[in-house]
Structure 1
């Protein structure tokens, strides 16, 4: 009976850490407004440690990326706590976009591109037209990560936590959803053609 509960607890722990990391900008904003670094940084550190321990990706590169991002988050939270400097926490979205840009960009130079690898998980025998399409989508994501990271960096430099939270915890996610939605529509049209 206890063994059956372990996978559920692990899945719940994994889900909670994913939610906290997705809500990172809001958590930082609320933490800085209400509890300060003494409360916020240890909570973030524990979250990133749990993320390191529970991360599982479908591709080895994504697993390595997920663990690297968790380690970076842990490093930022620990340094912020030790140095009593909250500004460092704001740079996590910049690191996320930079690492995603590097991963997607590198995959263009060392095929197959990330999007093709993900597509092959559900459709192992991609036709040449689909392979070309996945390369183009990977390029689009590279442009997105560059621009999104640049705007995230600008919000860090601006030093306005409300602006930083609005962009990194709201607008950025809306843009990701919009890009995914547009790509899905285009993909369906390409598949029909």
Structure 2
């Protein structure tokens, strides 16, 4: 197999790692096996960081910061033998996303508008207002989700932490994306009539 063909494996593995983070941490803590999982997780996050250097787009920096935070938490947990630090990774992810989405509200073009303009260069005024509102909704989501993630990390109940950060928050995020897509279809349909 050539080197060019094996490259898509790295994004797939690192993407799966990020999705499985809560379950890997739960498994590692439950089975006292984080001593070998942490270096592997740090390596995959390092590969994720390196692969994003070639990406373009508004979420490139987000991916790099999130990967760097994960690497830092893995190394600190390994060296300090305080694996509870790993529970704060979802909090960091939500904080970074809130900073990016919220910070973009103070710029000329919110992040959702930038993403929308990747598909359609010219957006009508109603679409621009809509993308600003969607960016605000995502900010509220990151505040609430990050707050609950922080509570679960501080509370220290591993089944609760794993259920929220490994399943419930993803379901809520997917519901928000699907709901936004449905509303966007209606807004576009209304504006074209």
**What is the match of residue 147 of structure 2?**
150
Deviations 1:135-181 (CA, angstroms, capped at 9, x unpaired): 00000000000000000000001111111000000000000000001
Matched, 1:78 2:81: no
Pick from 40, 43, 48: which aligns with 1:46? 43
Give the TM-score taking structure 2 as reference length.
Answer: 0.94
Give the TM-score taking structure 1 as reference length.
Answer: 0.94
Gaps of 5+ in 1: none
**What is the match of residue 164 of structure 2?**
167
Deviating beyond 3 angstroms after TM superposition, the runs of 4 or more aligned structure 1 residues are: none
Q: Displacement, 1:111?
A: 2.1
**What is the match of residue 141 of structure 1?**
138
**What is the match of residue 90 of structure 2?**
93
1:98–1:145 CA contact under 8 A, matched in 2: yes
Matched, 1:190 2:192: no
- Is 34-43 or 164-173 further displaced after alignment? 34-43
Once superposed, what is the RMSD of the aligned Cα atoms? Answer: 1.2
1:29–1:165 CA contact under 8 A, matched in 2: yes
Q: Displacement, 1:133?
A: 0.4
**How far apart are the structure 2 equivalents of 1:54 and 1:39?**
23
1:108–1:138 CA contact under 8 A, matched in 2: yes
Pick from 7, 10, 21: which aligns with 1:10? 7
Matched, 1:33 2:30: yes
Gaps of 5+ in 2: none
The alignment partner of 2:121 has SS state of coil
1:116–1:135 CA contact under 8 A, matched in 2: yes
Matched, 1:64 2:64: no
**What is the match of residue 108 of structure 1?**
105
